[in-house]
Amino acid sequence: MIHFEPITDDEPELVHSPMLKAALLTLGYIEANGPIGLTPLKALKRYFVAWAAEAFDWPHYTAAELYDMNKVLNEPDFPPLMILHDVLLSAKLVRHYKGAMQVTKQGKQLKSHPAVLWIVLATHLLCVLDHGQYTRYGDQLDGDWGILLGVINQEAQVAVTKERLCAALFGVSEKEMLRDYRLTGTLYIHVLRPLCWAGLLEEQRNGRGLERTRHFVKTPLWAAALPIARANDEAAPTRH
């Protein structure tokens, strides 16, 4: 489990969390429009997926980018919404009832307390949800969050690649990691993407297709919410 520093509802660094923004928009949508319809497979219906793609404006998953690849949007076509759906259910902020997704009493209460809501969302996103279900082979990553965050805290003071992070975590060379797509992909799905979606890291993408590069850097929310940041941020990252 990860320990988070207490933060206030008016903490400006919360703006870095796309998951918090999306959760507040979703809870607000239900409050204003009523429960969101579900398909027979318990996915959110297309009308809400289309609305969410526009409203969330999720980094690297904007409506324009999604419609470049899909004529219509189903929930699996919008991965951040699919995982938000799972997080909201896991945290008991919503429930499925009579073919629709409804807000629970806890969801209504936390909507007015974004700092507490963020901690609940981040805890379930990072520590409760099984991200193996979002990988092709159900890959798991054995690792302690204390160690993972300690390494990332040092390495991501400047923009760093997932290969560099894997090399630092597992004691191998970056060159070797460039060929180990499965391990770097597992680190991305289980650690880096959740940290980005929680708002603790920022993913910077350049290029397209096989030429695309990805770098990760800590956001100001990292320093505000994680005690480890205060202990180690004065040290410069070591490069080999």
CATH at residue 113? 1.10.10
Quick one: average pLDDT of 213-232? 88
> Is 6 part of a structural domain of the chain?
no
Question: Mean pLDDT score of the chain, rounded to an integer?
Answer: 92
pLDDT at position 173 is 81
Q: Which of 94, 129, 164 is the last residue of a domain?
A: 129
Mean pLDDT of 137-152: 87
Please tell me the distance from the alpha carbon of residue 25 to that of residue 46, in angstroms, as a whole number: 17
Q: Give dist(CA 230, CA 67) in Å, integer.
A: 41
Tell whether the model's pLDDT for residue 40 goes beyond 50: yes
Tokens of 189: 């799905």
* Structural domain count of the chain: 2
Q: Domain limits at 219?
A: 145-232
pLDDT given for residue 236 in this prediction? 45
Residue 207 maps to a domain: yes
Asked whether residue 180 falls in the same domain as residue 104, the answer is: no
Q: What is the pLDDT of residue 187?
A: 92
Q: Are residues 175 and 78 both part of a single domain?
A: no
The answer to the question of residue 227 being in a domain is yes
Final residue in a domain of this structure, among 95, 129, 163 = 129
Tokens of 113: 């307390």
Q: Judge contact between 218 and 157, C-beta under 8 A.
A: yes
Give 223's pLDDT tier (boundaries 50, 70, 90). Answer: very high
pLDDT digits (tens, 9 = 90+) for 12-34: 999 999 999 999 999 999 999 99
Same domain assignment for residues 60 and 154? no
Q: Which is it for the CA torsion 217, 231, 187, 79, positive or negative?
A: negative
CATH number at residue 169: 1.10.10.10
The tokens describing 78, both together, are 């919008």
Q: How confident is the model over 70-102, as pLDDT tens digits?
A: 999 999 999 999 999 999 999 999 999 999 999
Q: Are residues 226 and 164 in the same domain?
A: yes
Residues 47 and 184: their CA atoms lie apart, in Å, by: 35
Q: Which of 45-49, 86-90, 185-189, 204-208 has the lowest mean pLDDT?
A: 204-208
Statement to judge: residues 106 and 149 lie in one domain: no
Domain-terminating residue out of 99, 129, 159: 129
Residue 89 and residue 178 in one domain: no
Q: Residue 140 pLDDT > 90, yes or no?
A: no
- Is residue 99 situated within a structural domain? yes
CA distance linking residue 102 with residue 95, whole number of Å:
5
Whether residues 79 and 105 share a domain: the answer is: yes
**Quick one: average pLDDT of 191-210?**
91
Q: pTM, whole model, 2 decimals?
A: 0.92
Residue 143 banded pLDDT, cuts 50, 70, 90: confident
Query: Taking 70 as the threshold, does the pLDDT of residue 230 lie above it?
Result: no
Q: What is the C-alpha separation between 88 and 28, in angstroms, rounded?
A: 13
Residue 136 counted as domain residue: no
Residues 78 and 155 occupy one common structural domain? no
Q: Which residue has the tokens 């009493």?
A: 105
Q: Is residue 134 part of a domain?
A: no
Judge if 107 and 179 occupy the same domain: no
The reply to whether 85 and 160 lie within a common domain is no
- In whole angstroms, how far apart are CA 213 and each of 156, 168, 206? 15, 19, 5
Does residue 43 share a domain with residue 85? yes
Tell me, yes or no, whether 149 and 125 share the same domain. Answer: no
pLDDT of 158-175, one tens digit each? 999 999 999 998 888 887
205 C-beta neighbours (distance < 10 Å), count: 11
Q: Write out the E strands in 43-122.
A: 94-97, 100-103
Best CA proximity match to 153, nearest among 165, 143, 144, 142: 165
